[in-house]
């Protein structure tokens, strides 16, 4: 079994999760730690998913990337700590006027890194949706049954 996968069993069945620290590009662990609190996991995850929707569309390979992101989209993404920074992983840079522009690149390495970030983001978004709908409550369990916050982050994140 992959060491980066955690399996938790309960009366509702088994649930596998990939620790948030296993993402190589996406700061998933930091985002979850900044936005999810014990006792409110499902509500916090639901609240986190909403501002991530524009990024979900941007991360889809079949969707053409807009060269310009309006400030309304930026405001929505910025509603939660750590989420606005994700735009840079997809190649968007602030223009100093509140908007973000897609930086043109011909670098194969940069294009591959953007594609990897998009793939990780979609995996992260899907994992958050699973946590929100999870009757097992894996993340809640990890947060509430650890000896310290540091142990919980090592175990679940």
Tell me how far apart the alpha carbons of residues 50 and 3 are, in angstroms, rounded to a whole number.
Answer: 31
Residue linked to tokens 């955690």: 6
Tell me, what's the pLDDT at 122? 95
Domains and CATH numbers, the chain: 6-156 (1.20.58)
CA–CA distance from 21 to each of 10, 87, 96, 130, 154 (Å)? 24, 19, 32, 17, 8
Tell me, what's the pLDDT at 35? 93
Tell me, what's the pLDDT at 15? 56
Backbone angles phi, psi at 62, to 5 degrees: -80, -10
pLDDT tens digits, the chain, 157 residues: what are they?
344 555 555 444 565 666 777 899 999 989 998 998 888 888 999 999 999 999 999 999 999 999 999 889 999 999 999 999 999 999 999 988 888 999 999 899 999 999 999 999 999 999 999 888 876 666 776 666 655 454 454 545 5
Decide if 69 contacts 55 (C-beta within 8 A).
Answer: no
- Which ranges in 3-144 belong to alpha helices (H)? 28-35, 41-59, 71-77, 86-89, 108-133, 138-144
Rg (CA), the chain: 17
Decide if 5 contacts 17 (C-beta within 8 A).
Answer: yes
Tell me, what's the pLDDT at 156? 59
3-state secondary structure 6-47: EEEEECCEEEEECCHHHCCCCCHHHHHHHHCCCCCHHHHHHH
């Amino acid at each position: 079994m992959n060491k980066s996968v955690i399996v938790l069993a309960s009366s509702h069945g088994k649930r596998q999760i990939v620790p948030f620290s296993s993402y190589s590009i996406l700061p998933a662990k930091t985002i979850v730690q900044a936005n999810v609190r014990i006792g409110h996991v499902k509500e916090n995850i639901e609240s986190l998913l909403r501002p991530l929707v524009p990024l979900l569309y941007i991360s889809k390979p079949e969707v053409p990337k807009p060269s310009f992101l309006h400030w309304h989209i930026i405001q929505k993404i910025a509603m939660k700590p750590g989420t606005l920074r994700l735009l840079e992983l997809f190649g968007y840079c602030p223009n100093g006027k509140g908007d973000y522009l897609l930086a043109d690149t011909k670098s194969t390495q940069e294009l591959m890194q953007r594609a990897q970030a998009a793939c990780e983001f979609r995996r992260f978004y899907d994992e958050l949706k699973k946590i929100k709908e999870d009757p097992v409550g894996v993340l809640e369990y990890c947060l509430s049954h650890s000896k310290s916050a540091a142990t919980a982050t090592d175990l679940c994140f």
